[in-house]
Amino acid sequence: MAQRYSKRGISKARVYTVKNAARIVGVSELTLRKWSRDGLKIIRDKRPHLLRGADLIDYLNKRHVANRNPMTETQCYCMRCKAPKNPMGGAFVFQQTSDLTGRLSGLCGDCGGKFGRFCNPSDLEFLSKVIAISHKPRAYGRAVRRGSDGISASP
């Protein structure tokens, strides 16, 4: 997720071709061109397209900061918002998927899209103190036949 790219070997004072810059940073040319849509300045007056070392370093620094958005226990990463978000209504649904794993799901509080993440059932006690969690029946094994109380019967 928050991958770090090498700024070593990039000189602020130099100008690079897209190809060279990509090689130094360790990404594909395509990635650099994607970054240019995301704010990285590429000089397109002539071919080959060039970029300034200073701009690239600047972009990588900003990118690093932007990616550093730690997710709290009560958040999920929303693919649509591209950021950790709190669930709508402050609530998740938990569904245990095996003895050791489960899934939290909810709707993104910002865009309303579905999101979720895996969650260790042993974290639920803590989580339910800080956020509303409702339970779906287990999605596996005999528990389904036992009824709908899902998580309550912990071993």
Rounded-to-integer distance, Cα 125 and Cα 129, Å: 7
Rounded-to-integer distance, Cα 23 and Cα 114, Å: 37
Rounded-to-integer distance, Cα 76 and Cα 105, Å: 8
Collapsing DSSP states into helix, strand and coil, what is residue 23?
helix
Closest approach, Cβ 55 to Zn ion, in A, equals 30
Closest approach, Cβ 26 to Zn ion, in A, equals 30
Q: Which residues bind Zn ion (CB under 5 A)?
A: 78, 80-81, 108, 110-111, 113
Closest approach, Cβ 136 to Zn ion, in A, equals 21
Rounded-to-integer distance, Cα 53 and Cα 78, Å: 33
Phi-psi bin for 140: left (phi > 0), alpha (psi -120 to 50), beta?
beta
Listed in sequence order, the DSSP H helices in the chain are 18-25, 29-37, 53-67, 124-130, 143-146
Q: Which is nearer to Zn ion, 51 or 104 (CB)?
A: 104
Q: Which is nearer to Zn ion, 56 or 107 (CB)?
A: 107
Rounded-to-integer distance, Cα 85 and Cα 72, Å: 9
